[in-house]
Amino acid sequence: MSDTEIFMTEMYDEGVVTEVIRPAAIVPEESARAILVELALHDVQNGGVWLSDPSRWARYDRAWDSSAQQGAAQLVGTVQVAYGTPTRYEITIYRATITRVGTEAGWTVMSLCDEALGFGGLDLATCPRASLAAPPKPFHW
């Protein structure tokens, strides 16, 4: 079963927690660089527990059996991110999901985000936030 199939199965299972981060957390350039380096060093292909791509960071409960085989490792949760926003070198964190496996192991949205942000010397509670603009006025004829 692929990572995507496992994630979709977990999404419809009890114990799954998804939280939209409002306002979105903005990772400054220096911290963003440090986080990306550490995620690469802790990648499942290097014996670590993280699998990252430009739209999400996935945390597993243990290292994969090999760089291409997930084996018994189970997805704990994911952090949804957007690179290059609001500025070119920043990263926006806007959603996190904890799977049933992660919930049973005691993971929370805060602890998952804090582990990833910790690579850059940040945590979710103190991470800079996006400024929210006032909603537009309603259209009237």
Secondary structure of 37-94 in the HEC alphabet? HHHHHCEHHHCCCEEEECCEEEEECCCCCCCCCCCCCCEEEEEEEEECCCCCCCEEEE
Average pLDDT over residues 55-84: 93
- Cα gap 110→117, rounded to integer Å: 10
Q: What is the pLDDT of residue 83?
A: 95
pLDDT in tens, 102-137: 999 999 999 999 999 999 999 999 999 998 777 788
Domain boundaries, the chain: 3-118
Q: What is the pLDDT of residue 11?
A: 55
pLDDT in tens, 128-139: 999 877 778 888
Q: What is the pLDDT of residue 121?
A: 97
pLDDT in tens, 9-34: 555 666 788 999 999 999 999 999 99
Instruction: Check residues 67 and 79 and name the one with the higher pLDDT.
Output: 79
Cα→Cα distances 52→22, 45, 55, 82, 137, Å: 22, 11, 8, 12, 39
Q: What average pLDDT does the structure give for the chain? A: 89
Q: What is the pLDDT of residue 72?
A: 92
pLDDT higher than 60, residue 41: yes
Q: What is the pLDDT of residue 28?
A: 96
